[in-house]
A and B are shown apart, each in its own frame.
Chain A
Amino acid sequence: MKHFLSILILVSAAAAGEITYQRLLEANSEPGNWLTYSGGYASHRHSKLDQVNTGNVSRLKMLWAHQMKITEKLETTPLAIDGVLYITRPPSDVIALDAVTGRPFWTYRRPMPDKLTACCGQVNRGVAAFGGRLYVGTIDAHLVALDARTGSVIWDVEVADYRAGYSVTVAPLVVKDKIVVGIAGGEYGIRGFLDAYDAKSGKRAWRFYTVPAPGEPGSETWKGDAWKTGGAPTWVTGSYDPKHNLIYWGTGNPSPDWNGDVRPGDNLYSCSVIALDADTGKRKWHFQFTPHDLHDWDAVQIPVLVDGMFRGQKREMMYWANRNGFFYVLDRVTGEFLRGAPFVRLTWASGLDDRGRPVRNPNTAPSREGALVYPGVQGGTNWYSPSYSPLTGLMYFSVWDYASIYYTGDAPYRPGNRFLGSVPAKIPEDPGTGAVRAIEPETGKLRWEYKLLSTPNAGILSTAGGVVFGGTNEGHFFALDAATGKELWRINTGGQVIAGPMTYLSGGKQRISIAAGSALFTFGLDE
């Protein structure tokens, strides 16, 4: 019964090369693959590929689509590794797709319990790859290691108890031999944390609680037992600086979202960026964008790491377009605030002080009667990835220009139930507008804007071809000139874009993939 194996003929196979830490460090130098959620540790979501460029992007056409039978939102960013795309689909399934045809090699389907608690859909943003394995977080708050060639489960560990409102939606980040994974559940009164697991065994290596216990640094910013249900989740992938061995990760809102009376104080480390030692998980510094947040303005944006000039000095910086409407430049070695300025209309603060702390305006806190505040509850931007192009020196991101009416109310805590203190209201006659904006980081100046009808949920990709890709709620996927914002190409995918684009080579040809509606679409030049 040996059959075909007995006539085995060795052929040169596509290198099923395993992902090493070295490859992750140098992800930018192999643009034919897309190795991490944000394309590399500095999280620029920028590619050196330039086959598709401003001169020919108008000839882009759809090559294939992979449709999925799902009713939940598709937020995945694929990884591309040696001819295979690895995507996730709701609730927490993983599919290995052939990059040439879009046909699946295998699918990991995860059985789920009935009573899942996820505030905003059973979503997942992608996998991490390392050493021939894939790592996926699940909506029932597990971390699972899969064999990259078969989808077989290698280990499956519980990150937290889903019945208490914990879930994992974030794409994990591999740092050295560890899998770093965040947690979601800021609408359920969880106590947030960031975890690292040994890639081989699944054993937890460290945990950093984003809400300190009494006696720990930062605990002075909480009163009573509020820390136990303090929120500060970590549901979007962070970045890593190998030179300083620091992991940077954004944290979400304090719980309950819209009733700050039950949690007096600044509520560290909610709505912050935390810088943690990658080996120990110990905090080196933090910067809180929104102390004592009252509007659900999670700081779960992607930390964009850039070395460059700032006011005539060479600095190691972090750029951050925050949900609270300010664009920040921080020193990523020390956490020092360098500058900040609004990138959308905002009415809740008159500005930032010398240390970057917002100067709040009166009557902008949620109230029983309702307070109309810019930006609205989804913020000036949110979790969808920004892009930084080292060629133009610009930051590109999707923005929302709109307001919400913020109410407050009682917030009784019951484990596994929503812990909100009211819900903000839309203003039907003024739903707001959206745009893709290009910002000069050093000055905060708007270079250009591409206006959209409604508030977008799409991430941005920039490339060495001088092109910026983005998407709309109405289903458009578009290409803009990175220098001017001029539209060069667009297609209607027929489904809302709630994911970030990425690019890679297939058979030596540049491809661009984007999740939209219930499908993954792949584009290339009409050759």
Chain B
Amino acid sequence: MMGIRVSLLLALFASFLPAQHDDEKNPHQTPADIEAGGRIYHSHCAECHGIRGEGGRGPDLTRGDFRHGASDGALLRTISKGIAGTEMPGVYFSDDQVWQVVAFVKSLSGRQRPVKLPGSVSEGEKLYRKNGCGRCHLVRGEGGRLGPDLSDVGAQRTAAFLKTALTRPQQQVLPSYWQVRVTGKDGKAISGILMNEDHVSLQMIDSEENLRSLLKSDLASFKVDKASMMPSYERTLGAKELDDVVAYLASLRRDGGTR
């Protein structure tokens, strides 16, 4: 047997060396690095995370609460590659520059003390139910499917953003919640939320929550309305009630997950 030429599968081992980012320390932490990182932050990150890191559409970065990893290495990875399954994209910069952003983001931590929200979580939950929010929104698998899943919304959005979403829902409507109405050549109309589209077909979830695939050649009309189905609660709810609903929504966090 020994005379036979063999090829040991050393390559096997090489492919198992994992990235060591989690153990890495940020080599770019001078005041100049933080300043340089801040410039990148303001042009690339502030739109969602706020000029001062106070959050908005994206999470508040001033609390030092980084659920996808708070180590230098984890932040490098998150900022470089983005976070799968969320709205967080990666920035395609060199590691040197991303380290500077990491230094800046870390410098934001502790700038603001956690603010206790004025509303009542339990009262907010009652109002959520009373107003039928669950007809369109899922919370841990319970509810409707036409609006955004709110199971983790407290981690994803700031209280200020949530309040605006309740009072002025048309201010920022993500394309994934644009409404669609189609009419078949047979005159039947279907409305719902557009999930996907190409030049010959569309995929949607209809108002009865059925997934549907339609060929455009079978349609008499096809209209997209970029408005949200979400009604405004500016007049429906009083100031305290709004605070309560915001407190309830801000309390929604998903358990489990990898980190």
Contacts and interface: CB of A to CB of B under 8 A. Distances in A.
Nearest to B137: A152
Interface in A1-40: 1-5, 7-11, 13-14, 16
Which of A1, A7, A155 has the most chain B CB atoms inside 10 A of its CB?
A1
A273 B210 CA distance: 41
Given A5-B191, A14-B210, A103 B203 contact: yes
A475 B148 CA distance: 40
B9 A423 contact: yes
B201 A2 contact: no
A150 B138 contact: yes
Given A103-B201, A370-B2, A372-B4, A116 B18 contact: yes
B6 A427 contact: yes
B209 A149 contact: yes
B49 to A, nearest CB: 17
Contacts of B4: 370, 372, 405, 427
Interface string A388-423: 000000000000000001000000000000100001
B8 A423 contact: yes
Interface residues of A, number: 63
A442 interface: no
Contacts, number: 191
A424 B8 CA distance: 7
B5 A428 contact: yes
Contact of A1 (B73, B152, B169): B169
Contacts of A369: 1-2
Interface in A102-132: 103-106, 108-117, 119
A112 B22 contact: no
Interface stretch (B33-41, B51-59, B229-237): B229-237
Interface in A165-208: none
Contacts of B9: 423-426
A1 B211 contact: no
B73 A114 contact: yes
Interface stretch (A52-60, A93-101, A209-217): A93-101
Instruction: Please tell me the size bucket of the interface on B.
Output: 35 or more
B258 A4 contact: no
Nearest to A405: B6
A453 interface: no
Contacts of B6: 370, 405, 425-428
Contacts of B7: 425-426, 428
A147 interface: yes
B207 A104 contact: no
Contacts of B227: 1, 3
Which of A103, A108, A147, A157 has the most chain B CB atoms inside 10 A of its CB?
A103
A491 B206 CA distance: 37
Contacts of B68: 111
A93 B84 CA distance: 9
B228 interface: yes
A156 interface: yes
A157 B83 contact: no
A51 to B, nearest CB: 20
Nearest to A404: B6
A259 to B, nearest CB: 16
Given A110-B85, A111-B85, A13 B208 contact: yes
B72 to A, nearest CB: 12
B121 interface: no
A148 B4 CA distance: 54
B245 interface: no
A158 B85 contact: no
A105 B213 CA distance: 9
B18 A114 contact: yes
Contacts of A4: 179-181, 191-192, 207, 225
Contacts of A405: 1, 4, 6
Contacts of B258: 110-113, 140, 142
Interface stretch (B89-97, B155-163, B249-257): B249-257
A434 B227 CA distance: 58
Interface string B168-186: 0110000000011100000
Interface in B59-103: 68-69, 73-74, 77, 83-86
Given A13-B206, A145-B141, A154-B141, A418 B13 contact: yes
Given A3-B225, A149-B145, A423-B12, A104 B1 contact: no
Given A152-B138, A370-B2, A11 B191 contact: no
A46 interface: no
B255 to A, nearest CB: 7
Contacts of A14: 210-212
Given A4-B207, A152-B151, A427-B5, 16 more contacts: A1-B227, A2-B231, A4-B180, A5-B179, A5-B229, A13-B208, A98-B201, A99-B213, A100-B215, A101-B213, A103-B198, A109-B84, A142-B258, A153-B152, A372-B4, A426-B6
Interface of B: 1-2, 4-9, 12-13, 16, 18-22, 68-69, 73-74, 77, 83-86, 138, 140-141, 145, 149, 151-152, 169-170, 179-181, 188-192, 195-196, 198, 200-201, 203, 205-213, 215, 225, 227-232, 254-259
- Which 4 pairs of residues, A with B, have the shortest CB-CB distance? A4-B191, A154-B141, A109-B85, A13-B210
Interface of A: 1-5, 7-11, 13-14, 16, 83-84, 93, 96, 98-101, 103-106, 108-117, 119, 133, 140, 142, 145, 147, 149-150, 152-158, 369-372, 405, 418, 423-429
